[in-house]
Amino acid sequence: MAGFLSMLRRTYLAVYNWVVFFGWAQVLFLAVKTLKESGHEHVYSAVEKPLQLAQTAAILEILHSLVGLVRSPITATLPQISSRLYLTWIILHSFPEVQTHFLVSSLTISWSITEIIRYSFFGMKEAFGATPSFLLWLRYSTFLVMYPIGISSEVGLIYLALPHIKVSEKFCIRMPNKWNFSFDNFYIAFIALGIYVPGSPHMYRYMLSQRKKALSKSKRE
């Protein structure tokens, strides 16, 4: 029974990783193609649907971590996925004013390169029990460049959206209301920016430690 459950788990995770891999591959292809042919102003409209699908699928990774399907700690998984969902739906999808900015291109390309490598790495690991050494190196090295680009793009897009959030009051709840509750998305955006200050260095140090462990282990093997 244990062997069957293990095989079922690996099959599910392999399928999940490869499906999302192809989603991010589509995002990268469309982003680069559109950037080359039409310019950065049209990148978001080209990648919107596959980007939303691929990024929203990552919600399952929170569940995977919670139920123990994977070893990734929820403390690392939850903040990263939450921030990306916030960018995908609350910022990019909701405020067309920022959709034509060049930071959308740097965001989608850095995200997709990172995720193509990550999902193919785990897809091969679950499907075959091992990964090529070059893919292991890419998995734990490309973030050195892609993470700062992605984080800078995320912060920049939230900042650019601030005046539009304030004027539109989108997602805001004002009192009085039957719930006796108020919510201001403008201040939530400020809080999100504030979280990046300690959160980004913390995540970068965490990934550096993971890189050191993974690459030193591969050398011993």
What is the chain's alpha carbon radius of gyration, rounded to the nearest angstrom? 19
Instruction: Decide if 97 is catalytic.
Output: no
How many CA atoms lie less than 13 Å away from 91 in the CB half-sphere? 30
Cα within 13 Å of Cα(140), Cβ side? 20
CB distance 33 to 125 below 8 Å: no
Q: Which residue has the tokens 């123990």?
A: 68
> From the centroid of its chain, how far is CA 174?
31
Active site residue 48: no
Among candidate residues 12, 41, 97, 147, the one labeled active-site is 147
Q: What is the 3-state secondary structure (H, E, C) of 147-199?
A: HHHHHHHHHHHHHHHHHHHHHHCCCCECCCCCCCCCECHHHHHHHHHHHHHHH
Q: How far apart are CA 77 and CA 63, in angstroms?
A: 10
* Cα–Cα distance for residue pair 179/167, rounded to 1 Å: 24
The token duo for 162 is 């601030």
Contacts of 161 by beta carbon, 8 Å cutoff, 6+ apart: 91, 95, 97, 98, 189
Residues with a catalytic annotation lie at: 147, 154
